Amino acid sequence: MNGDEKPLFRIPNWLLLLAVVLVAMLALRFPLAPGEPVVDIPYSRFKQLLADDMVESVRLRGNSIEGELVSAESLGPMQKLASRFTTRVPGFGDDELLGLLEQKGVTLEVAEEEISNPLVSFLVALLPWVIFFGFFYWLMRQARRNVIGGVGGQSDLRKFLQPPVEQADRPQVTFDDVAGQENAKREVTELVDFLRDPERFTKLGAEVPRGVLLMGAPGTGKTLLARALAGEADVPFFSISASEFIEVFVGVGASRVRKLFDTAKEQAPSILFIDELDSVGRTRGTGLGGGHDEREQTLNQILAEMDGFSGHEAVIVLAATNRPDVLDPALLRPGRFDRHVVLDLPDRKDREAILRVHVRKVPLGDDVDLAKVAGGTPGFSGADLKNLVNESALLAARENKNRVMMRHFESARDKLILGTERTLSIQPEERHRLAVHESGHTVVGWFLPHADPLYKVTILPRGKALGGTQLIPEKERHTLPEEYLHDQIALMLAGRAAEELLLGSVSSGADDDIQRATALARAMVSRWGMSEKIGPVDLRESEEHPFLGREIAQPRRFSESSATAIDNAVRELVLEAEKRAGELLQSHRQQLNHLVELLEKEETLHREQIESCLGKAPGKQNVREIAALKEQG
């Protein structure tokens, strides 16, 4: 074993000491027996053996006699005796014994009589109980230390109460590494000046916000922006997740908060970043623990610490959350997190800038057009785009390529949106129905005036879908016009309408289409006032979360008659859109049949192939015209 290596198992010193004491006690209490057995015999039998010259030696110790026989073989087969024996002289004594011993030539030894001390006997009898109760008491103390602060005692207790982050780092990330999010960067730029030169603000009586709340969807770069802020200002950066404050024992989280803020103040100017603030910052009074709940105790300590900053303490607290709706109002008041910075999903221009940041170390092929990749990824966050670049590089590595080509980006995009391509045995008639369904979406989407441009259509199974028709918007939409929404519903129901037109029946393949069309029609009626019968009245049953992209249920605030009117208006919108899709397919039935045959043959059709099959869409520019306009600038 090397000198630096630690033994796998080390016996504690207290355990060795306890073993030594037990062995000594047992040795005193129960002396080791001699090698040969010792038999206790009557005194009369001893006199008989002495008379028969069978005794070789004798030791007198008071009234006790210990002797050793010459041989025990002559005693007969039923009367065998061990070679060593003991006996006691009667209480009245035996005056003839010494003479008989001398006459028989027995070796005589006289030993000092042992005097028994009652106190020593009592202590020897009490010692096992003392050791037992002492060991039990030690176990209880160890169990208590484990519950409070770990096995190590007070040092581990202090370590248990300390925050997980004690040492700050100085990030090397700057605003140049944060592509897009120009509005958010402008909001926090003045904080950099304050951290670099706080006296310039304080001498004028200005107070820079102590708390900045970063809000946005997951993956929009909240943590990256906080690190970039610290990197630009070149100040210590403390980063911690709010969930790390929470422990089973009430008060531990509050103690960690105090120590973390004290550490940040000692190294001021500095930045303290709390990620996932909603894990401890939820509205108080909603938990079962009342005022003694650990989360509320931790939140109260955070509020107290943010109020306790002095003017000379240049510490800025940043926090990130994607659930600002659940935060306690006391966190959002002036003097705490009073500046709110929203990080939106990147638009097309920002997505291209983000891609350029992530491909710095990726060798790209000559055909890679990052502007086209950015245009084909609407709704992608910064984290999604980073994952897209990584997946593209992995696909190129699997093919042993030296560069990442455009087809790798397209395959990675399809994988992230639709799922991994899978091998599935599909019957010919089911494959034909699938081609009819997807061709219906394609034809209606091609000829509708307000639909998004088609990207490609496929009948190859990906993820949970057996096929798909992909449309990519040419521009970012922040509001949705009514005519665009009507075209969207017709596009969703076009696959079902094509099955009914060409096959005479419908299938369960339109399940997702019907669900999305109904949800969109209900939003038009109950939220956006796009129904003449209902009017501009808010009759929604759920609230859409601004960042998470999902509906949050809320109690119904309208009558049953209003609910019936909403259902009728939704049904009317959906049926009207399906009828419109069916009429459009009927008017282009020949082109629909041609597209079905081509799709069954090729399995995947891109925009150029779709245009050659269906011709130029009325009111839309074709691919060549769009390319010519791009070349002209």
pTM of the predicted protein model:
0.66
Q: Report residue 66's pLDDT band, with 50, 70 and 90 as the boundaries.
A: confident
- Active-site pick, 352, 438, 500, 578: 438
d(CA 533, CA 358): 51
Is the CB of residue 568 less than 8 Å from the CB of residue 528?
no
Is the CB of residue 244 less than 8 Å from the CB of residue 291?
no
The Cα-based distances of 273 to 5, 225, 261 in angstroms read 39, 11, 11
d(CA 144, CA 359): 55
Tokens 């069954």 sit at which residue? Answer: 600
Give the per-residue pLDDT at 629.
Answer: 41
Question: Closest by alpha carbon to 604, among 439, 458, 482, 387?
Answer: 458
* pLDDT surpassing 50 at residue 518: yes
At 71, list the tokens. Answer: 């041989």
Tokens 């007070």 sit at which residue? Answer: 154
Percent of the chain with pLDDT over 90: 16
Find all residues with CB under 8 Å of 398, minimum gap 6, and list them: none
Is the CB of residue 531 less than 8 Å from the CB of residue 524?
yes
Q: Report residue 573's pLDDT band, with 50, 70 and 90 as the boundaries.
A: very high
Note the pLDDT tens digit of each residue in 287-319: 544 444 667 778 888 888 887 655 446 788 888
Tokens 């026989």 sit at which residue? Answer: 69
Is the CB of residue 221 less than 8 Å from the CB of residue 378?
no
> How do 339-343 and 211-216 pair as beta strands?
parallel
The Cα-based distances of 237 to 35, 192, 273 in angstroms read 76, 13, 7
**What is the residue type of 500?**
E
Helix, strand and coil percent figures for the chain, each rounded to 5 = 50, 15, 35
> How do 315-321 and 270-275 pair as beta strands?
parallel
At 617, list the tokens. Answer: 């869409």
> Which of the residue ranges 75-79, 162-166, 461-465, 572-576 would you say has the lowest mean pLDDT?
75-79
Burial 5-33 (b: 16+ CB within 10 A, else e): eeeeeeeeeeeeeeeeeeeeeeeeeeeee
At 480, list the tokens. Answer: 């949705």
Note the pLDDT tens digit of each residue in 389-425: 999 999 999 999 999 999 899 889 888 887 777 777 7
Question: Closest by alpha carbon to 298, among 435, 197, 161?
Answer: 161
| Rounded average pLDDT over 161-180 | 71
> How do 270-275 and 84-88 pair as beta strands?
unpaired
Give the per-residue pLDDT at 419.
Answer: 78
Give the per-residue pLDDT at 450.
Answer: 87
Give the per-residue pLDDT at 92.
Answer: 64
Average pLDDT, the chain: 78
* pLDDT surpassing 60 at residue 186: yes
Q: Report residue 580's pLDDT band, with 50, 70 and 90 as the boundaries.
A: very high
Question: Closest by alpha carbon to 341, among 224, 216, 220?
Answer: 216
Note the pLDDT tens digit of each residue in 187-209: 888 788 887 777 787 788 877 77
| β-pair partners for 473 | none
Give the per-residue pLDDT at 96.
Answer: 76
* pLDDT surpassing 90 at residue 548: no
Percent of the chain with pLDDT over 70: 78
Question: Closest by alpha carbon to 431, among 454, 464, 458, 469?
Answer: 458
The Cα-based distances of 157 to 151, 250, 293, 450 in angstroms read 9, 14, 21, 66
Does residue 305 carry a catalytic annotation?
no
Helix axis angle, 294-307 to 252-266, nearest 10°: 20
d(CA 200, CA 197): 6
| β-pair partners for 543 | 552
Tokens 């709010």 sit at which residue? Answer: 242
Q: Report residue 150's pLDDT band, with 50, 70 and 90 as the boundaries.
A: very low
d(CA 537, CA 565): 12
Give the per-residue pLDDT at 209.
Answer: 75
Edge-to-edge order in the sheet of strand 339-343: 237-241, 270-275, 315-321, 211-216, 339-343
At 483, list the tokens. Answer: 């005519």
d(CA 63, CA 88): 6
Question: Closest by alpha carbon to 69, among 103, 38, 93?
Answer: 38
Cis ω for the linkage preceding 473 (within 30 of 0)? no
The Cα-based distances of 69 to 54, 77, 81, 338 in angstroms read 6, 16, 9, 104
